[in-house]
């Protein structure tokens, strides 16, 4: 089961990188910033992704909500969060694409 969870997490983060690289191309490159590949976007995505969940868990532990922290950790390492994030990023990609189309010079 851990292999499936790991695979879902990797695929979800790759999808996130794809979404980020497209949003970057649509909204940041026109401002004069160089484009990035999906590999660069993946790296940019992994750095805060590694740091932020640990901060959330630490805050819950400091506040004395041990059972909440344990549930958070188990969901974080499971399939629920990566799958939900993949769906959310699909919505981000669609919204970003529509905004990009709307803002393009005609």
What is the model's pTM? 0.61
Buried b (16+ CB within 10 A) or exposed e, 5-28: eeebbeebbbbbbbbbbbbbbbee
Task: Check residue 86 and give its pLDDT.
Answer: 72
Q: Angle, to 10 degrees, between the axis of helix 2-27 and the axis of helix 80-103?
A: 10
Task: Check residue 4 and give its pLDDT.
Answer: 78
Task: Check residue 27 and give its pLDDT.
Answer: 93
Mean pLDDT by 10 residues, the chain (106 residues): 72 85 94 91 76 59 59 57 71 82 72
């Amino acid at each position: 089961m851990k292999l499936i969870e790991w695979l879902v997490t990797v695929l979800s983060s790759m999808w996130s990188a794809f979404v980020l690289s497209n949003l970057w191309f649509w909204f940041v490159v026109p401002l004069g910033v160089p484009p990035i590949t999906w590999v660069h976007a993946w790296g940019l995505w992994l750095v805060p992704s590694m740091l932020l969940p640990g901060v959330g868990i630490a805050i819950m532990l400091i506040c004395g909500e041990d059972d909440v922290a344990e549930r958070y950790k188990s969901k974080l390492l499971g399939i629920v969060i990566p799958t939900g994030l993949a769906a959310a990023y699909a919505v981000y990609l669609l919204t970003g694409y529509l905004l990009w189309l709307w803002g393009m010079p005609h």
